Amino acid sequence: MPSFPRPRPRQVAAALVVVAVAAAGVVWLNSGSDTPPVTTRDAELTLQSGPDRADPIRIDTTLYLPQRTPAPAVLVAHGFGGSKDSVDSDARELAQRGFVALAWSARGFGRSEGQIGLNDPDYEVNDARALVDWLATLPEVTKDAPDDPKVGVTGGSYGGALSLLLAGADKRVDALAPVITYNDLGQALLPNSAGRAETTAAANPFSADGVFKRSWAGIFFAAGMGAAGLANPTGDATEPGTEDNGSATAAVPAQTQDLPTGGGSGDRQREGTGDPCGRFTAAVCKAYAQVATTGRADQATTDLLRRVSPVSVTSRITQPTMVVQGEQDTLFGLDQADATARQVSAAGAPVKVVWYTGGHDGGKPGPELRGEIADWFDFHLRGQGTDPGTGFEYAVQGALRAQGAPSVRTVSAGAYPGIGGAPAAERREIAVSGQEQTVVNPPGGNPASISSMPGLGSVLGSSSRLAGRISVDLPGQAARFRSEPMTSQLLIAGASTVGIRVASARGGAPDGAVLFAKLYDVGPDGVRTLPGSAVSALRTPPLPADGTAVEVSVALPAIVRPIEADHRVELVVSTTDQAYATPAEAAAYRVSLAPGGELAVPVVSGSRSSTAPPAGPLIGIAVVLGIVALAVVWGVLRRRRADDVDPELADVPLVIDGLSKSYPGGLKAVNSLSFRVGSGQVLGLLGPNGAGKTTTLRMLMGLITPTDGSIRVFGHKIHPGAPVLSRIGSFVEGAGFLPHLSGRANLELYWSATGRPAEHAHFAEALEIAGLGSAVERKVRTYSQGMRQRLAIAQAMLGFPDLMVLDEPTNGLDPPQIHQMREVLRRYAKTGRTVVVSSHLLAEVEQACDHVVVMHKGRLVAAGAVEDIVAGGGEATFRVDDPAAAAEALRGVTGVNAVTVEGDLVHADLDGLPRSAALTALVRAGVAVEQAGPRRRLEDAFLQLVGEESSA
């Protein structure tokens, strides 16, 4: 087990003081502020719905009643794949604020009947209108007129779209707050950003030529089949009737209105019938099948998606609208909220826009933001509180604090840029540069680059540094263009734009090229972060067969990201992305920057209104204790990380101390391994299969974590992501090359992916070492195994790392190539660098290495210079002119045993006698000695050391 330093007594005392103060604070905060009780009433309502509102359907509802009624009502709609239970805490909070809250399971979800129509105006929207009718009959709800209740509507994702659609269809809605939702479902699921002005989806209406976002669409379809989860990031785990935030709940018996005989528009559960459409309507099922199999939307699908999208009604929404969108959302990006805000504002509605750090990849709004939503309804439904206005707020997430929590500040502007007479966002020009690059779309679009994993951010947490670092751009498939380092912080807030030129590298592209654009934040250490894991998918206009370039204006994903001083921005244009459906046909394109090569970056000026991360006003003692515990652990880990450098070992390439690795089931692959490697050495790591060699190398590369012990490289302790890993070049468990690219192109693209300057790569020297000659310009698919192996060694040598680790480097090489490899390793070590070689060819290790480490069953059995290991048995061989006379002379020397003759060779066990004494005896006997040396080979020593000599 890893050993942790014990916290100092003062640390423990300080932690206890913090706990005591925090607990006292919680008691003080909660004293005299009991949460108002909430009464709930369940009811299954039979609503008249359908196109003519004459189709009865049973909908499952829960009504949340505040302490005092009558009061305005708020409809709380759930996300896709959820039910009324998913929004229990949201509805309860609104009731605690004094509103009558109504939650319901949309048709096809929970216990409600019917089929899912994706917020079809004739079905789900008419259902909601019928719920407004029902609220008008309740004495607990205040009214503007006999059939007109004072009512607001809110919801996240699917429920947010329902909020907009209901407001556009029913003027009795007095205010709304849609959260992390879409404006145009077609544009969201089949985006095509080429030529789109800034982030305005309206400027680029949904096109059948959009690029299908198949991963998220598949998740949604699965949720409609009954597999809820990632599609509903705003859901709660709270079940009705349980305590939430300490509120008192009084349950009222459920009301049930019987369904007329033969009525209803669908089953409660269709999954068990074997229906491939699950709970979807036939029209929705057909549309999904069409676009999922072709990657494009036909006219019927286009019409359906627009019909069920808020964009179809935003021109009719004049009610006060608070648009809340997440900055960590690869499903419905900030561009969707931007389009909604612009369209609703153009219709004359007061609009407030809030961007927060969550989303489908980051989670639901926190207590502060939910309080803002309640304030919105307080003012617009009751006329109470301060006017929330029509401003714009966005959250800026910075570096992690010492306790591991993100630093978040809120920036407020007077109005959302570009609407209601507000000035547009300031745009700053950032110069990016890079030569024209050829990128390929591999056959089948596979392997594909990775920009995000749907919903992964919500698992990692929106504050996790990992969320934006899983992006992988495959060499040969991505063109890169970089800026110079920033001289001061640049706060990007919105969608940047850039002009690129795209040409077909062969044969033209009549349907245009499918490309994916993204903007990275690159640190001084070369670490690349993709803000929000966001990518813009685009389809270019047709590309001429003669190779003429087409200029395209690209709207990059809308993000909020502070680019710090000394950081760069990097524009990447890729041909593939695993989250999207890409063309199956192989293609190649030339990508370059449009003349000027400038990136237009949006900057929204505002005042810093908050420095605290979103948090609730009341924190439980358990939460405080958890935070304190995390703070103590984080402090200990920081001390460990600070102690991860040993200055005394700064000049030692490798020190392994007490290294162990255990796996479940009792397997111990490496057991208390210790050895040291000096500068300029070529060390061979030997051992039979299962000895633990590869496990040791993987721990050395930071790929797996030791169970115990440590590895230090130049004094720095190795751990995943350790900066010192950049000083190691490796070839472990085979190298993967893109077969359609040349050897040189593979090396150049590999180095480009490291983010380090090209002049530091030493391509010429590495290629000379590879010894491929003119073949380096040929495609790798034409290479023999030996040629691939030499190219892999050259790749490991790029940048001339101080420590090079090679696993079986001579596999597939013929004898002349093995000889050349031996010379390469020796020359490399003579520069003062160090090489560690794992190999099963003992004769080659004996000739190429000067030191060896022998492992057996995870343990060290021998370590030292090769000549010392070989000479350990004291046997010698003499090449002589008279073998018989030599044998007789040696047998007469005291201490010499087991003299044998083999041709002109005489072998003798000297049993500790110096070899010079045996030579003296031979010379005195008149025997001419042509050669003398140790008899044992490294193989003999190895077999004896591991106890397998008898089976050799």
Q: Which residue has the higher pLDDT, 23 or 214?
A: 214
Average pLDDT over residues 899-908: 84
Element (H, E) at 934: strand 929-934
Task: Please tell me the distance from the alpha carbon of residue 464 to that of residue 284, in angstroms, as a whole number.
Answer: 36
The CATH architecture of the domain made up of 426-606 is Sandwich (2.60)
Task: Please tell me the distance from the alpha carbon of residue 363 to that of residue 347, in angstroms, as a whole number.
Answer: 31
Distances (CA, A) of 827 to 799, 822, 831: 16, 9, 7
Q: Taking a C-beta distance cutoff of 8 angstroms, is the pair 302, 522 a contact?
A: no
Average pLDDT over residues 122-140: 95
Q: Which residue has the higher pLDDT, 120 or 852?
A: 120
Q: Which one of 389-398, 414-423, 527-536, 734-743 scores highest in mean pLDDT?
A: 527-536
Task: Please tell me the distance from the alpha carbon of residue 536 to that of residue 333, in angstroms, as a whole number.
Answer: 10
Show me where the domains of the chain are located: 38-413, 426-606, 647-868, 875-935
* SS3 letters across 27-80: HHHHCCCCCCCEEEEEEEEEEEECCCCCEEEEEEEEEEECCCCCECEEEEECCC
Give the CATH number of domain 38-413.
3.40.50.1820
Mean pLDDT (the chain) is 79
Q: 647-868: what fold?
A: Rossmann fold (3.40.50)
Helix axis angle for 785-797 and 815-830, nearest 10°, is: 10
Give residue 334's identity as a one-letter amino acid code: L
Give the pLDDT score at 269. 42
Q: Taking a C-beta distance cutoff of 8 angstroms, is the pair 861, 875 a contact?
A: no
Task: Please tell me the distance from the alpha carbon of residue 290 to that of residue 798, in angstroms, as a whole number.
Answer: 48
Task: Please tell me the distance from the alpha carbon of residue 796 to that of residue 735, in angstroms, as a whole number.
Answer: 10
Average pLDDT over residues 638-664: 78
Cβ neighbours of 892 (radius 10 Å): 11
Q: Which residue has the higher pLDDT, 615 or 843?
A: 843
Split at pLDDT 50, 70, 90, the class of 466 is low
Q: Could you report the per-residue pLDDT of 816-859, keeping only the tens digit for each?
A: 777 777 777 787 788 788 999 887 666 677 777 888 888 888 88
Q: Do domains 38-413 and 647-868 have the same CATH topology?
A: yes
Give the pLDDT score at 823. 78
DSSP, collapsed to helix, strand or coil, labels residue 520 as strand
Cα dihedral: 645, 647, 648, 654 (round 10): 50
Q: Could you report the per-residue pLDDT of 137-180, keeping only the tens digit for each?
A: 999 999 999 999 999 999 999 999 999 999 999 999 999 999 99
| Tokens at 245, concatenated | 């935030």
Give the pLDDT score at 176. 97
Residues contacting residue 759 through CB under 8 Å, at least 6 positions apart: none
Split at pLDDT 50, 70, 90, the class of 344 is very high
Share of the chain above pLDDT 70, in %: 78
Q: Taking a C-beta distance cutoff of 8 angstroms, is the pair 837, 845 a contact?
A: yes
Residues contacting residue 951 through CB under 8 Å, at least 6 positions apart: none
| Tokens at 801, concatenated | 């790392």
pLDDT at 782 over 60: yes
Give the CATH number of domain 875-935.
3.30.70.100
Average pLDDT over residues 255-267: 37
Average pLDDT over residues 508-535: 89
Average pLDDT over residues 578-587: 88
Q: Which one of 60-64, 77-81, 801-805, 829-833 scores highest in mean pLDDT?
A: 60-64
Q: Could you report the per-residue pLDDT of 693-717, keeping only the tens digit for each?
A: 888 988 888 888 899 999 999 999 9
Instruction: Work out the burial of residue 790: count CB atoms within 10 Å of its CB; fewer than 13 is exposed, 13-18 middle, 19 or more buried.
Output: buried
| Tokens at 308, concatenated | 């069920």
Split at pLDDT 50, 70, 90, the class of 622 is very low
Residue for token digits 């590879």?
Answer: 770
Residues contacting residue 877 through CB under 8 Å, at least 6 positions apart: 905, 906, 907, 931, 932, 933, 934, 935
